[in-house]
Structure 1
Amino acid sequence: MTAVHRHTGLVCTDHTLEVPLDHARPDGETITLFAREVVAAGREGEDLPRLLWLQGGPGHRAERPHAPGAWLRAALRDHRVVLMDQRGTGRSTPADRRTLAVHPDAGAAAAHLAHFRADSIVRDAELLRRHLAADGEEDRPWTVLGQSFGGFCVLTYLSLAPEGVEKAMIAGGLPSLTAHADDVYRAAWARVLDHNERYFARYPGDQRLADAIAAHLAEHEVRMPTGERLTVRRFQTLGMLLGATATFDGLHYLLETAFVPGRRGPELSDTFLRGVESAVSFAEHPLYAVLHEAIYAQGGRPTAWSAHRTREEFPAFDASSGGPLRLTGEMVFPWHFEEDPALVPLREAAHLLAERADWPPLYDPDRLADNRVPVVAAVYHDDMYVDREHSLRTAAHVRGLRPWITNAHAHDGIRVDAAVFDRLLAMVRGEV
């Protein structure tokens, strides 16, 4: 099924198709996959190559063209861009507390959610690629561009179906091919601590303010506008904002709205609480929380709430230690499934996924070592979300991968500066 609409110089064609929930059982249960193909107005009749955007996440829908990242307008100069809502997100069949409630128990819900990782996303993409070529077009490979978790998906694509890829570009998303989640989070905790130091060095007055907010939350039961309680540990998760150019400074302007005079003394303002609520809630992307550790799971070891366990090795994040408050990053903890109403119904399924030990591999190291697809990657030197050293080891392993190491951009570089896309495209074309 297709639908076409036009706006702001773009022609958008919507596509939906049915794909197997479990690609190993193509005749079994199906779910809907949605994708939007975008082309510059006036060029819709041209034979432009397709570029598939693989969104960061997990659990985030593809961006919408009414508010595009910097890369999209640049990509549309030479491509038809395909914005695919990864399974479980956006207009693809959703996976959230309401839809998962149809399963008879947590075990069934967890088994369902196990099919929402990069391997299934890539197989969906291959079905979509062939679907788009069904109207007499040549079934030709496309260029893929993966940002953050989308870059992880690119390496899975090159492992499972490299014949579907003509060129590959990755922005801030080169994962380790072999590291356990514990290795990933140990490295991440150190980077988050470093970003805390940078933030409070830029805004030294915010240290006193953050400490005062934490003390207030420890002494009072504070409710956000939705009625959810804001605890100290949930307030600490605002640290996820520290890794992106677009939000690093925004945290300062949120904190400065924190206190207003109340009847019994200082109180946290509704402006502040609404901003915090928007930043820390998983209501719009529950899969991010449910699958965050599963995206690193391969082989026979469960993740077993890795971020929660390894945090004990970094006492600076203990809000009760008496030291200056330190904000956590994108980590997901078991208590999220007790405090966030969007996640509470998924608690048992999340625990089962954390205990699972038989995850299939996501990457084929041998195939990647013999890779024949041109592939380039922006490795952000100070990336808070993806470890630089893990990325460089992977870059050295993948045959022909050309890394571009830069300290001029944060994790969201390709979204805020079109020059990142232009550089990657020139690299993958062999022009630089």
Structure 2
Amino acid sequence: MAEPVVEQAAHTIRAHHEFRGVRTAEHFFTVPLDHWPSTRPEDAGNGTRETITVFAREFVSAEHTAEDASRLPWLLYLQGGPGGRGTRTTSLSGWMKAAARSFRILMLDQRGTGLSTPADRTSLPIQGDAEAQARYLTHFRADSIVADAELIRNALGSEPWTVLGQSFGGFCALSYLSFAPEGLSEVLITGGLAPLDGPAERVYRATFQRVAERNAEYFAWYPEDRELVTRISRHLEATQERLPSGERLTTERFQMVGSFLGGNTRVDALHTLLEDAFVPSRDGERLSDAFLEQVHGLVSRASNPLYAVLHEAIYGQQQATDWAAWRVLAEFPEFQPRAEEPLLTGEMVYPWYFEQDPALVSLREVAELLAAKQDWKPLYDVARLNANTVPVAAAVYRNDIYVDFQLSMETAAAVRGLQAWTTADFHHDGIGEDGEGIFNRLLGMVRGTN
């Protein structure tokens, strides 16, 4: 891939705050929409480049004086997603508590999220028609996020920094190692070793199998919920139930509550969600308002539309993804809404999302164009990863339903010097369950102190 056009990012700090043992600063950076302007012929010759804003919040432990803090090295946190804003927190705990002992933490709102220039159903029409919006969103993948990070690092005057990538943030860290390793001193990855090549289909064949196994495990713990999930599914086919936002709750959308299955810290909460499902009414049993309110929060993409719009694009490399998860679903009939005992689904995205979710309906044509795009740029440089010299440690979860273990280990073997810690103690949300322990372990691995 061509080198990005390097320039200085405009940088402002708009606010400082101190509370509960932490000091924060709010950083805003102006970066080019397209770091590779030659790919936009419509801009050629006009002497201008479209820019966007990228926001990041700095966290420093109040245990450090201001003078001492200014000498601390930076740690950049890359959030999961795509489409996830940086973590909002009001105190230092978990991995942040551990990191703040020796780092200044920079919590990035990746482009299009949080306080960065938004990309959603309200803002995207500013770009023009569906084709213009789709073209705009091609600049919101990991390669552009990495180019933003390098401009930000230079604007902060940072030496090569430490990067911690969770889930999709780990995918971004692999792109960072591919295209700008000179900006990295060490890399920590949790649940985020992406496949480096191959079509998106192989990702979903692996993860559908993982999700099926996780369903079986869950229903073994809570056998009464097997009947309850089927009962809710049949009820939704026969009765119109509406979410608080007004649209009908369908069986396939209800199946999305399987997102709970992706973690140790949340899986048991699925049982308490389901037990609230039914209440009696004069017309027979109906789904309760409490249940519908909770389900709405799980199945709406209003807060992170890029997750749905760009989800398969994070696997697109020089070929169309063409709704890979939807096509692979046909190979797993047990996930079909009208299966005898339908299973709950994982994080896969399907075309009907853009028909049933009000936050996505107006983006349907944009999503179709992105699914059909065939000329995606590579996200990784395998040769460069084979020759990597940056210390890297990764937590790889054996039963992860979102990032497949076997595919992760293929990638681990392809990155020279990468140390993989494999464990069945955690699922995809391990960093939320024992963030301090996982962070300290990975940091010790890259520094040779474990």
Could you state the TM-score of these two structures normalised by the residue count of structure 1?
0.97
The corresponding residue for 1:74 is: 98
The corresponding residue for 2:43 is: none
Equivalent in 25, 40, 45 of residue 67 of structure 2: 45
Equivalent in 22, 44, 50 of residue 10 of structure 1: 22
CA, structure 1 residues 68+313, in 2 after alignment: closer, same or farther (shift >3 Å)?
farther
| 100-109 or 371-380, which deviates more | 100-109
Shift of residue 68, structure 1, vs aligned partner: 5.8
Find out whether 1:96 has 2:120 as its counterpart: yes
The corresponding residue for 1:84 is: 108
Is contact 2:191–2:395 with CA below 8 Å preserved after alignment? yes
- CA deviations on 1:387-409 (whole Å, 9 max, x unpaired) are 11111111111110000000111
| Over 2 Å off, 4+ runs | none
The corresponding residue for 2:191 is: 172
Amino acid at match of 1:113: L
CA, structure 1 residues 68+325, in 2 after alignment: closer, same or farther (shift >3 Å)?
farther
Amino acid at match of 1:306: A
Identity of aligned residues (%): 54
In 1, the alpha carbon distance for the partners of 2:217 and 2:339 equals 21
Shift of residue 262, structure 1, vs aligned partner: 0.6
Find out whether 1:429 has 2:441 as its counterpart: no
The corresponding residue for 2:83 is: 59
Amino acid at match of 1:89: T
Shift of residue 67, structure 1, vs aligned partner: 6.0
Is contact 2:19–2:91 with CA below 8 Å preserved after alignment? no
- Report the secondary structure of 2:410's partner residue: helix
Amino acid at match of 1:382: N
The corresponding residue for 2:366 is: 349
- CA deviations on 1:130-162 (whole Å, 9 max, x unpaired) are 1111xxxxx410000000000000000000100
Is contact 1:69–1:415 with CA below 8 Å preserved after alignment? no
Is contact 2:277–2:288 with CA below 8 Å preserved after alignment? yes
Find out whether 1:306 has 2:327 as its counterpart: no
Shift of residue 250, structure 1, vs aligned partner: 1.1
In 2, the alpha carbon distance for the partners of 1:53 and 1:208 equals 41
Find out whether 1:316 has 2:334 as its counterpart: yes
In 1, the alpha carbon distance for the partners of 2:111 and 2:56 equals 10
In 2, the alpha carbon distance for the partners of 1:427 and 1:228 equals 49
Amino acid at match of 1:255: L
- CA deviations on 1:29-58 (whole Å, 9 max, x unpaired) are 000010011100141321111100000000
Give ranges in structure 2 of 5+ residues lacking alignment. 1-11, 39-47
In 2, the alpha carbon distance for the partners of 1:249 and 1:67 equals 26
The corresponding residue for 1:150 is: 169
| 67-76 or 209-218, which deviates more | 67-76
Amino acid at match of 2:151: L
Is contact 2:82–2:307 with CA below 8 Å preserved after alignment? yes
Give ranges in structure 1 of 5+ residues lacking alignment. 134-138
Shift of residue 420, structure 1, vs aligned partner: 0.8
Amino acid at match of 1:76: A
Shift of residue 69, structure 1, vs aligned partner: 6.0
Amino acid at match of 1:314: F
| 66-75 or 146-155, which deviates more | 66-75
CA, structure 1 residues 250+152, in 2 after alignment: closer, same or farther (shift >3 Å)?
same
In 2, the alpha carbon distance for the partners of 1:272 and 1:194 equals 25
Equivalent in 162, 172, 187 of residue 206 of structure 2: 187
In 2, the alpha carbon distance for the partners of 1:319 and 1:110 equals 30
The corresponding residue for 2:378 is: 361
Is contact 2:20–2:91 with CA below 8 Å preserved after alignment? no
CA, structure 1 residues 269+425, in 2 after alignment: closer, same or farther (shift >3 Å)?
same
In 2, the alpha carbon distance for the partners of 1:211 and 1:68 equals 42
Is contact 2:22–2:92 with CA below 8 Å preserved after alignment? no
Shift of residue 102, structure 1, vs aligned partner: 1.3
Is contact 1:207–1:325 with CA below 8 Å preserved after alignment? no
Amino acid at match of 1:45: E
In 2, the alpha carbon distance for the partners of 1:120 and 1:25 equals 12
Amino acid at match of 1:13: A
Amino acid at match of 2:322: A
Shift of residue 319, structure 1, vs aligned partner: 2.4
- Report the secondary structure of 1:34's partner residue: strand
CA, structure 1 residues 68+152, in 2 after alignment: closer, same or farther (shift >3 Å)?
farther
Find out whether 1:203 has 2:222 as its counterpart: yes
In 2, the alpha carbon distance for the partners of 1:67 and 1:236 equals 34
Is contact 2:21–2:91 with CA below 8 Å preserved after alignment? no
CA RMSD of superposed structures (Å): 1.1
In 2, the alpha carbon distance for the partners of 1:69 and 1:203 equals 32
- Report the secondary structure of 1:169's partner residue: strand
Amino acid at match of 2:94: A
In 2, the alpha carbon distance for the partners of 1:409 and 1:69 equals 18
Equivalent in 410, 415, 419 of residue 437 of structure 2: 419
- CA deviations on 1:340-394 (whole Å, 9 max, x unpaired) are 0000010000000000000000000000000010000000011110011111111
The corresponding residue for 2:422 is: 405
